[in-house]
Every structure is written in structure tokens, then in C-alpha cells.
Structure 1
Amino acid sequence: MNKPGYKWIALSCTTIGALFSVLSASTLMIALPVIMKDLNAGMGIIMWTIMGYMFSLTILVPSIGRIADMFGRKKLYVSGFSLFTIASLFCALSSTGTELLIFRMVQSVGASLMIANSTAIITDAFPKGELGKALGVNSMVVSVAAVIGPILGGFLINFGWRNIFYINIPIGIFGTFWAAISLREMKDTNVDEKFDFSGTFTFTFGLLSLLLALTLGGFTKWLNKPVILLFSIAMLLIAAFIYIENHKEYPMLDMRLLKTRLLAFAYASTLLNGIARGAVTFLLIFYFEGDKGIDPITAGILLSPFAIAMMAVSPVSGWICDKYGARILSSAGLLVSALGLIGFMKISTTSSMGTLVLCMIITGIGSGMFFSPNTSAIMSNVPADKRGIAAGVRTMFNNAGMVLSIAISMAIISTSIPPDAMQSLFVHSHVSSASIASNQFIRGLRTAFTISFFFSLFAALISYLRGPAPNWNSQSVS
């Protein structure tokens, strides 16, 4: 039994972890142009410090979720906190873009350990009727970090970009010790179960091949031999994974998670929303700092309305979800996000800041309406011994969507503007609004936002079509 008050202690531990990881990502995002210039790094290295990190999360989190279901969540969560902290120190000491990329990948392992366990820890600690509220509070803190991060990053750049990693260290030390002291295992571990090495291998390398093929295809040509080869490898390994998981006594991924209609459609809407929303912040940073020539701290402030709106709505949507369910609320949130994206589809070099702020607020409200209820719907409809992998699969789909969003958007931008002009634009070499390069960039932005809009509409439809709660006592599919 949970002791009174433990649920709030568990929420505080996971919330610090969420604050930690999101703050690190949002401060880094705003500093990318400065880092690129200081380390004399190419556009490819800088892009992969973001995309490689999300690649790693996408691939590792489901496997880690399964390990957590078998051996417990606390040890893995605390280990992730400490590893992320140590990696932050090495990121700060990086002298080349390649070194920074390597240590960011180490960071991603620590982040995977935290992210795969945080939602499951909250679900273990809170009763079903309060889960939406708890996840709403967690989402609200994530939004606070998203607000603070770009502004803090813009401020810290004045003292050197390395400080955006140094600031992680005291937060990480405190969070590691607080989690180690306060958290406890709330469920029996399944140490007698065998770990699914063959399923994990085929899943990991199959998904890696697929994401690499989609990314390379977007940046180069879809009919290149490496892209075709990667797609072929991905199809073979994913087919082998499905076969293995359907015949394993203890599979890495219980296929009922994807065969059950409610969960399958909740996961699918997560993926589609990631594609719709994943690149929006990145594109706006590109627009503010590059095309408009705005300094980093001002750009960070201009990005805050999105996160402020999400921060305000998330706990309210979690509370409403506990009372009335997730289906209508999540679907309506995606439609509201689509409404905000309509405004971005008309972006130009002369767009007023008031219009852009309004679009960010609308999109943020929609995101706040979607995330907490959708996550609650997933986590409250799986057995306790499947919560780790259920949370991991949700994170996998969300991050896969974000990776694809950035890859698609950058592929569109790169076909709209010459590479040298794009690199100059990205590192604050301001391109005049009257120039051909700037006009081409704006056309690319509009196309990217239009694609995001249609993905958001599709996500709303899929979210609305989710089915009834699954019956886990039956082997039949709901």
C-alpha cells in the first residue's frame, strides 16, 4: 500500500527529472547557431546533436521500459539521472562538434532511463481517478521548462554557451540524490522472466534502419541505393520482430498493446501529433534568429507564449480527463492545434509578432488539451506489469514523430534554399527580406507548416476513432 503523501513525493522526483531533461533540450535549441560558430561545426553535425539525441530516445526507451517492468523502476531512473548529469559536464567541455555529438548521445542514454520510467512511476503511485491530474501537473512543469529554457539559454549565451550544460550539474546532483532517497519500488519485479534478446535486437536495428532511411531519403533522394538498402533491412527486421514477439513467452513488447484498438489509436495519434508539432519550435527559431536577425534571448522570449499556454491548460485538461474521459478532449486539442498552424501557414518576412504570438498561444492550448489526457488514456488502461513498456512505446512514437517532423521540414527547407545560404541564415548572417534566398526560405516554411496542419487534422481523426477500454483478462483483442 502507498503511504499517504508518497504519491506527491514520487511526482516531485519525476517532475524534477522532466524539468531537467526539457530544460536542457530547450536551452540547447536556442544556442545552436552560437555553438555552430564557436566550434566551427557544419550544419550536419549541429542537426544531429538534436536528431541523434531523439533517435536514441526513440530506439532505447521501449527496451528500457521492458527491463524496468522486469527488474524495477527506481534503480534505472536514478542511474539515468546520474548519467545525464555526468554527460552534461562532458558536453560543456567539448572542443569540437563531433565531441559534443558523442556526449549528447551519452546524455540520451541517461534521458532514456529517466523518461522510460517517469510515467510508470507516477502511474504506480497514483490511483486511476487522479492519474490525469498528476500527469497534468507533470506536463505543466514540462511547459514551465519550455518557457524558461529558451530565455535562460539566450541569457547564458552572454557568458558562453558552455554554461547551458554547466547549469545541469547542480540540478542533476540534487535530483539524483532526491530520487535515490525518496523513491521506492511499488510493484513486484519479474526477475524470473527471461529478457527477449532476439526481439530487442530485431526491434532496435529495424527501427534504426527505418528512421535512418526516412531521414536520409528526406535529405537526399528516395531512390538512392543506401536508402533502398536501409528500407529493405528495416522491413525484414521489423517482420522478424513481429514474428518473434508473437511466439515468445516473455516478449519485449506485448503485441496486445498494438492490437488493442484504444491503445493502438492513442499511440497512432501520438505519432501523428509528433510529426505535426515536432519541428514547429525549431522552424520558429530558424525564422526569428535567421531571417529576422533577432538576438537569442529575445527569440527565447518570443517563443514563450506556446509553452505558457500549454502550462496553463495541461493541469485543467488532466482534471477534466479524470472526470469525463480522454477521447473528446484529446481530439479537440488536436483540432485546436491545427487552427494555430493555419496562421503559421501564412508566415512571411513581414508577419506581425502579435499574429505569431496568437498562433503560438492557440497551438499551445491545443497541445495542453491533448498530451495529458492521451497519456492518461494509455497508462490507465494497461496492467501494472506492462506500464514500463507502455510508457516506453508512447515515448517511442512521440519521438519518432518529432524526428520525422524535423527531417521532413529540413528536407523541404533544403530544397527551397541553397545550402550555403541556409548555413549563413542559420548562424545569424542575416538575409535581407528582399533577397531571393529569404523568399525561398519563407516558401519552404509555409510548405512545412502546411504539412504539419494536415498531420494534425489526421491525428484528430485517429484520436476520435479510439475504441473502448481493453479487457486484459481475455486474450482476445478488444
Structure 2
Amino acid sequence: MLSNTTLGMLLATVNGSILIISLPAVFNGIHVDPLAPGNVSFLLWLLMGYLLMTAVLVVSLGRLGDIHGRVRVFRIGFVVFAATSIALALTPVEGQAGALWLIGWRLAQGVGGAMLMANSTAIITDVFPPRQRGTALGVNQVAGLAGSFIGLVLGGVLSAWHWQAIFWVSVVVAVAGAYWAYRNLTAVRPEHTGVRVDWLGNLTLAVGLTAVLAALTYGIQPYGGHTEGWTNPMVQAGLLGGVALLAVFCLVESRVEQPMFDLRLFRIQAFWAGNVAALLNAIARGGLQFMLIIWLQGIWLPLRGYDFAETPLWAGIYLLPLTLGFICAGPVSGHLSDRYGAKPLATGGLVLTAVSFVGLLLLPVDFSYPSFALLLLLNGVGSGLFSAPNTTAVMNAVPAGQRGVASGIRATFQNAGMVLSIGLFFSLLIAGLSDSLPSALREALSAQSVPGPAIDRVAAVPPVGLLFAAFLGYNPLTSLLASAGVLGTLPAATVGTVTARTYLPGVLAAPFHDGLIVVFLLAAALSLAAAVVSLFRGGIYIHDE
């Protein structure tokens, strides 16, 4: 039970992050220009679509497991994951059609991921007695959160070989997991026959969450001459309408006879405190990976002369201390939480995470790697100390018949926090770039004697487009200066300088650091807020069996 459910959790979470580091290889593989109109949207949906789908569906599929059998839904999750991974690996088209194909099947893959995530911890809680749950859930959660770190390294290694390999590896693991689950997993608790599905609750939650998270995705894209899309009426309607639907959802759940999302669970101190702390931690940590990958692949590695084809692989390698810290701390904290409870371990881990964020904001953009590696290690250790004890406390606190929905609620808070984090952090980063990048571009291009009208054309490009171009290993100054009609009039030495691979990362470095300071300050504040909430979880509490 433990090994199979842990494999399912690992598969689901690896695929939540494997594309972050592989996006340059994917975009080049399907021949998509990052600066073409609308293509930034493809990049963001490839990145966030899977997380959005899992955030929306985990509660519903966890409740479905409570009703029809957690093992049954868990098994189907492997099958769905295998089928969708095959479709992704066999992408038959290129260009924008290829991007749409990948986005559609990534959303479908998120359904399988939600089935696995929603039911794995509930199955473990069913199987293991209270004195062993912390250790078992510690192993499972280490696999879960380590999967998000492992996905970065694995994506870098596989995309250096071929971009489709990042999907084929999921096919192999999902097929093996499905065979294993159907052969060896058996239900340990009876199905809840006679329980009705809360269709209205499912609908309002799914539509409301989708509207909010999709609006966040479009809010960080340029709109109507603005560097971001928060003035877009569709974004505003999505945010307001989504929040309204979530309010309706809470009203529905408080009145239906058999709710999908039992709000009475939030009367349990250990449950609400653990979930709120997990949400704040997810918002603090979720955007970290994306910021680090852009930092490494778009700026730090190019400035050190790494070829574009090598940057995904080396970015994954340089992030290994993050994974190592988590893997070392996670199992130990899970075991210790069985004896000492979640409060000291989870709270201490959150404080350590906040300290690491403060350290990261003090680093220069062109940092010395040993200092960077040490801070990543501390961040990983902090996450490991928090995750397993917090999950054990949450799952111990609920009745046996509601473990599926409780696991789904926990995963919803975590996944929604990840999507919110990317939207929030990226918005702050782009806001910082918008203030300083145009002037940095003007100064740098003026120093190369580029004519003023051409400089104006380059400075008018949305910062998000230039940032993603650097991240994807593409210097757009060649096409921008050519379209301005000045490329052929510039001296060869000037053309060689401004179109070099390292030129744009060098210009981006200082403005990017301005945005990073704000991002890491907010992450540290959120981690400290989560630590305060964690203090209110109470002592060790195990719901009567």
C-alpha cells in the first residue's frame, strides 16, 4: 500500500514541475516563437494548466473515493495518467496547434493527477495505525514534495536528450503503477453506499476555482498597452465572478444534507490550522521554483557562458541542494511527529524557510554558487520539517469516513496556493521589471550607438516577453532591430554585441534583481505568517476510530 500510493504521489507531483525547466526545449521542439502575439499565453497555460486542474478537482475526486472506494479511484488515476501521457508524447503537430494540443492533454493529465493525489494519503491513513501514520505519511509526503523538486532535475536531464522524453517517462511509470495497483491494492474500508453526490457543490467549486485561477493566469499577461492584464474586463470578471461562486459554494455546503466539502471539519483546530498553514506555505514556496529557474536559465547560466542547449540540464543540477535538503529532513520529521506532534517541527521548519528567503534576497544576481546552494539546502530542510508532520496532523484529526475529502481539501489548499503563488510572484516581478527595464535597455543600447527610434521600439516590448525570451534562450534584438530597419546600418561589432546570447541576460540582471527583492520579502513574510498559524494547531490530536 505504502509503496504504490507513494509512487502515485511521486508521479503526480513530478509532472507538476517537470515542464517548468523543460519549456525551452518544448517551445523549440514545436517551433513556437515566444514573442509572437498570444504565445506567452501558451507558455503560461502549459506551466499552470496541470496545477489548475488538480487544484479544482482534488476535493471532488477525494469525495468520490469516499463514496465509491478510494482504491478504485486511485487505480483509475494511473490509467488516465498513462493514456494522457501517451497523447502528449505523440504530439502530431507543431506551432500554435502543437501548443494547444499539449495544453489540452496537460489539462486531461491533471484529472489523473488529482485522482492520485486526492486518495493516496487517505488510503495510507486507512491502513496504518496512529502510532505509525506519521512515518508512513512522512514517506508519502517526502515523495510528494520531493517530486516537485525531482521534476526540475528530471526535466533538465530528459529535455537535454529530447523534449518528448519528458512525457514518455510518465507513460512508463503510469503503466507500471496501474499494473501494480490492479494486481496488489485492495480496499481496506467498505464503500459508502447510499451516499449522494453533491452536484451543486461540485459545480460551484469547480467553476469558481477555475474562474479565479484562470483570471490570475491572464492577469500576468500584457493587455491594452499595459505590461499586465489586471485592467482586462475578462480578468476582473473572472476574479469577481469566481469569488462570488466560491461564496455560493460555502452557502450550499452549509445547507445540503450530504456536502462534498464538510465545513464542520474546520471546527477541528488541528485541521483548520494545518490547512491554513499549508496554504500560506504553498503561496510562499510555489513561485520559488519558477523564479529560480528563470534566474538560472535566463540570466545566471548564460552570463557564465553556458550554451542554451545545456541550460535546462545544468539548472536542474544546480537546484539539487533543494531536493537533498527536503529528502533528508522529510522522513525524519515524519517519524518524530509520531512522538512529539506537529507543532515544534512544522513551526520550526517554516521559520527556517523564512530565513532562507531572506538570505536569497540578499544575494546578488550574479551570485557565488556555494552561498546559493547553502540557502537552497536550508529551504529544502525547512520544507521537509513542515510537510510530513503537518499532513499527519491534518489527517489524524478527521473521521475515517471523511479522509478522502479531507485529503482533497488539503491538496486543494496546496495546489491552489501554488497557482496563486505563481500569479502573485510573477505579477510583482513584472511590475519591478516594468519600472526599471525600459531605462536599462535605453542606457545599454545608447551605449552601443543604436538610433533613438530603434531603441524606442525595443523599450516598448512588454517586459514579460523579453523575460520569457531570455528564459527560452532567444535574443529577440535581432528581429526587433531588423524590423526597425537599422540592423543593416549598424557596425558589425555592434550587431555582434547586441545580438549575442549574453547581451539580453546582462541587461535584465539588475532590473530582475529589483523584482526578486520584493518577491522574496513577501515569501519570507508568508512563511512567518504560516509559522504563527502553526502555533495554534494545539497538541497531538487523533480522532476516535
* Residue 66 (structure 2) pairs with residue 69 (structure 1): yes
Q: 1:384 aligns with which of 400, 404, 407?
A: 400
Query: Which residue matches 2:520?
Result: 449
Asked whether 1:428 is paired with 2:428, we answer no
Partner of 2:110: 108
SS of 1:278's partner is helix
SS in structure 1 of the partner of residue 110 of structure 2: helix
User: Are 2:388 and 1:372 aligned?
Assistant: yes
1:412-438 deviation line (CA, Å, top 9, x unaligned): 232315233213211123444884433
Tell me the percent identity. Answer: 34
Amino acid at match of 2:42: I
* 2:368 aligned to which of 352, 355, 373: 352
Counterpart of 1:258, as a letter, is F
The equivalent of 2:259 in structure 1 is 251
Q: Which residue is equivalent to 1:419? A: 464
SS in 1 for 2:319: helix
Partner amino acid for 2:239?
F
Q: Deviations over 1:52-103 (max 9, x none)?
A: 1111111100011111111101111111101111111111122311111111
- Could you say which residue in structure 1 is the equivalent of 2:225? none
Q: Provide the rounded CA distance (Å) in 2 between the counterparts of 1:54 and 1:27.
A: 12
Look up the equivalent residue of 1:263 and give its one-letter code: F
**Conserved? CA contact 1:431–1:437, under 8 Å:** no
- 1:22-171 aligned at under 5 Å gives the runs 22-41=13-32, 42-94=39-91, 95=93, 96-142=98-144, 145-146=147-148, 148-171=150-173
Instruction: Supply the AA of the counterpart residue of 2:20.
Output: M
The reply to whether residue 175 of structure 1 matches residue 177 of structure 2 is: yes
**Inter-CA distance 310–71: structure 2 relative to 1 (3 Å threshold):** same
For 1:352 and 1:33, how far apart are their aligned partners in 2?
Answer: 25
Shift of 1:222: 3.9
Contact 1:317-1:372 within 8 A present in 2 as well? yes
Partner AA of 1:233 in structure 2? G
TM-score in terms of structure 1 length: 0.92
Letter in structure 2 aligned against 1:194? R
Q: Distance in 1 between matches of 2:334 and 2:298?
A: 37
Q: Is the 8 A contact 1:213 1:227 kept in 2?
A: yes
| Higher deviation after alignment, 32-41 or 62-71 | 32-41
2:409 counterpart SS class: helix
CA change 1:151–1:234 in 2 (3 A) is closer
Q: CA deviation at 1:378?
A: 0.5
Indicate which of 242, 248, 268 corresponds to 1:240.
248
Contact 2:396 2:543 in 1 (8 A): no
Number of the residue aligned with 2:346: 330
Contact kept? 1:206, 1:234, Cα under 8 Å: yes
Structure 2 residues not aligned, in runs of 5+? 33-38, 222-227, 438-462, 475-500
Q: Size of the alignment, in residue pairs?
A: 464
Distance in 1 of aligned mates of 2:166 and 2:505:
35
- CA–CA separation in structure 2 for the residues paired with 1:79 and 1:110: 8
**Distance of aligned partners of 1:357 and 1:469 in 2 relative to their CA distance in 1, 3 Å threshold:** closer
Contact map agreement 2:51 2:415 (CA 8 A) in 1: yes
Deviation for aligned residue 1:375 = 0.2
Q: Is the 8 A contact 1:66 1:388 kept in 2?
A: yes
SS of the equivalent of 1:17 reads: helix
Superposed displacement of residue 240, structure 1: 1.9
Distance 1:146 1:401 in 2: 14
Change (3 A) 1:422 1:218: closer
**Alignment-derived partner of residue 286 in structure 1:** 294
Name the CA distance, whole Å, in 1 between partners of 2:505 and 2:51. 36
| 1:325-373 deviation per Cα after TM superposition (whole angstroms, max 9, x unaligned) | 0012111110001111111112323211111100100000100000000
* Code of the aligned partner of 2:78: F
**Aligned counterpart for 2:206 among listed residues 204, 207, 212:** 204
**Contact persistence 2:70–2:187 (CA under 8 A):** yes
**Larger mean Cα displacement after TM superposition, 29-38 or 351-360:** 29-38
Q: Cα deviation per residue 1:28-67 (whole Å; 9 max; x = unaligned)?
A: 2221111122223323212211211111111100011111
Compare 30-39 and 122-131 and name the one that shifted more.
30-39
2: distance between equivalents of 1:471 and 1:329?
17
Aligned counterparts of 1:60 and 1:11: Cα–Cα separation in 2: 23
Q: How far has the Cα of 1:202 moved from its partner?
A: 1.4
TM-score norm. by structure 2 comes to 0.81
8 Å CA contact 1:260, 1:470 repeated in 2: no
The one-letter amino acid paired with 2:178 is: T
Q: Identify if the C-alpha distance between structure 1 residues 389 and 262 changes in structure 2 by more than 3 Å, giving closer, same or farther.
A: same
SS at match of 2:262: coil
- Deviation, 1:218, is 4.7
Bigger drift between 364-373 and 184-193 goes to 184-193
- Following TM superposition, the consecutive aligned residue runs of length 4 or more in structure 1 with deviations greater than 6 angstroms are 469-473
Please list, as runs of the form range in 1=range in 2, the aligned pairs for 1:312-331 lying within 5 A after superposition: 312-331=328-347
Q: Which residue identity is paired with 2:356?
A: G
Conserved? CA contact 1:261–1:468, under 8 Å: no
1:476 aligns to what? Answer: none
Output one character per residue of 1:162-201: Cα deviation in whole Å (capped at 9) or x when no partner.
Answer: 0111122222111101111111111121120111111111
Structure with larger Rg: 2
Opposite residue 61 of structure 2, the aligned amino acid is I
Deviation at 1:442, TM superposition (A): 2.0
In the aligned structure 1, how far is the partner of 2:541 from the partner of 2:337?
18
**Residue from 394, 417, 420 that aligns with 1:404:** 420
Q: Quote the residue 1:4 is aligned against.
A: none
Match among 11, 31, 53 for residue 2 of structure 2 = 11
